[in-house]
């Protein structure tokens, strides 16, 4: 199904936050007025998209360094949880809202195309949390609240609750993803099961595998809980982040070789510990990256760390932030962050 869309203007306010780094931070107000902004995407022409998640709406700025954010019509009653751009330029939107609403749509120019709907028998997901696209036309989504995934092989959709590679031989184990990404023609994810160690999900290499994943628990300590965010810089260069749920401490894990071996993963520590990571993003150069999150207690606000060497070392941005839930890194070292209450900030180096 295809629908036409329009856009309308949302005004912004510009200010500065003192501190080094962070002394040239531009703070704007967007229309994402709920408790967090779930999705951020810079498209292939430099425009930025924001998805509200906890509140309805999708917003767009032609140049996020200078322009207002526009509200995209057609999403005023839609919870947007993830945004990805396909090789053909189409913007995919994961989310949902009302009964019977699509759980995956895409935008091409001034039209919305609806791709996937909830079905209690064939697609039992009321909302989708993540969408990932491969260069050869595969698409994968996961459920916001359950362990289900949806997989499109280029021709048709299938749904699966047991998607670990053990299900190929009858060893079914249910997991839930928290972040889902693609690299080349394959999918990667992170997550866990309750009271189990944090897991990274690699594309299965077993015969007969399609949407299946190999599960690698990167530590045998169950207190770390589920990982929240993942970036894949190479088949053997991954960074995953989340929180130690027992001690409310941040956890950032880096692997640069043999990443299917749990002993190859190493935790990186920082001066701030109490809190959790919520988002990681790296620029196309694979060197400049950003990780953000929320401090504990939440009243303490949020944090930003930056890297320019592929995640080997990180710099803490000395500025005051609210708890942050979305981030973007640019090749020149610029970065953008977002949160709830309409908060959006961007800075050039």
Counting residues of the chain whose pLDDT is more than 70, the rounded percentage is 92
State the virtual CA torsion across 303, 307, 313, 319 in degrees, nearest 10: -30
Where residue 208 falls (left for φ over 0; alpha for ψ -120 to 50; beta otherwise) is: left
Radius of gyration of the chain (CA): 19
Cα distance between residue 63 and residue 171, in whole Å: 49
pLDDT at 8 over 80: no
The overall average pLDDT reported for the chain is 90
pLDDT at 229 over 90: yes
Distances from the Cα of 93 to the Cα of 27, 214, 246, angstroms: 25, 27, 34
Contact assessment for residue 283 and residue 289, using Cβ atoms and an 8 Å cutoff: yes
pLDDT in tens, 155-195: 999 999 999 999 998 888 889 999 999 999 999 999 877 67
Query: Comparing 210 with 76, which gets the higher pLDDT?
Result: 210
**Residues with Cβ < 8 Å from 306, sequence gap 6 or more?**
21, 288, 289, 290, 314, 315, 317, 329, 333, 335
Specify the pLDDT at position 147: 94
Q: CA 300, 335, 192, 216 torsion: positive or negative?
A: negative
Give me the mean pLDDT over the 303-324 stretch: 95
pLDDT in tens, 16-61: 333 456 779 999 999 999 888 999 999 999 999 999 998 889 999 9
């Amino acid at each position: 199904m295809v629908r036409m869309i329009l856009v309308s203007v949302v005004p912004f306010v510009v200010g500065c936050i003192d501190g080094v780094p962070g002394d040239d931070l531009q703070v704007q107000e967007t229309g994402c007025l709920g408790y967090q902004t779930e999705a951020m995407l810079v498209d292939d022409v430099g425009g930025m998209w924001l998805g509200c998640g906890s509140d309805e709406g999708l917003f767009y700025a032609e140049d996020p360094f200078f322009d207002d954010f526009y509200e995209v019509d057609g999403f005023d009653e839609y919870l947007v949880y993830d945004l990805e751009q396909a090789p053909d330029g189409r913007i995919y939107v994961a989310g949902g809202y009302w009964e019977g609403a699509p759980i995956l749509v895409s935008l091409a120019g001034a039209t919305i195309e609806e791709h996937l709907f909830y079905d209690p028998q064939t697609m039992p997901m009321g909302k989708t949390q993540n969408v990932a696209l491969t260069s050869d036309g595969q698409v994968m989504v996961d459920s916001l609240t359950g362990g289900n995934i949806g997989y499109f092989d280029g021709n048709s959709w299938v749904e699966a609750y047991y998607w670990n590679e053990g299900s190929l031989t009858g060893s079914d184990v249910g997991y839930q993803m928290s972040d889902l990404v693609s690299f080349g023609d394959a999918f990667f994810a992170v997550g866990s099961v309750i009271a189990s160690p944090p897991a990274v999900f690699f594309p299965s290499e077993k015969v007969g595998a399609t949407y299946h994943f190999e599960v690698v628990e990167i530590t045998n300590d169950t207190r770390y809980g589920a990982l929240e965010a993942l970036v894949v810089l190479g088949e053997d260069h991954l960074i995953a982040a989340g929180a130690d749920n027992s001690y409310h401490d941040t956890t950032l894990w880096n692997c640069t070789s043999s990443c299917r071996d749990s002993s190859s993963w190493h935790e990186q520590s920082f001066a701030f510990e109490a809190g959790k990571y919520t988002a990681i993003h790296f620029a196309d150069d694979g060197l400049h990256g950003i990780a953000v999150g929320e401090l504990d207690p939440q009243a303490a606000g949020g944090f930003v760390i930056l890297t320019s060497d592929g995640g080997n070392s990180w710099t803490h941005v000395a500025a005051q932030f609210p708890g942050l839930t979305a981030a973007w890194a640019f090749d020149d070292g610029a970065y953008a962050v977002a949160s709830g209450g309409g908060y959006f900030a961007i800075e050039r180096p």
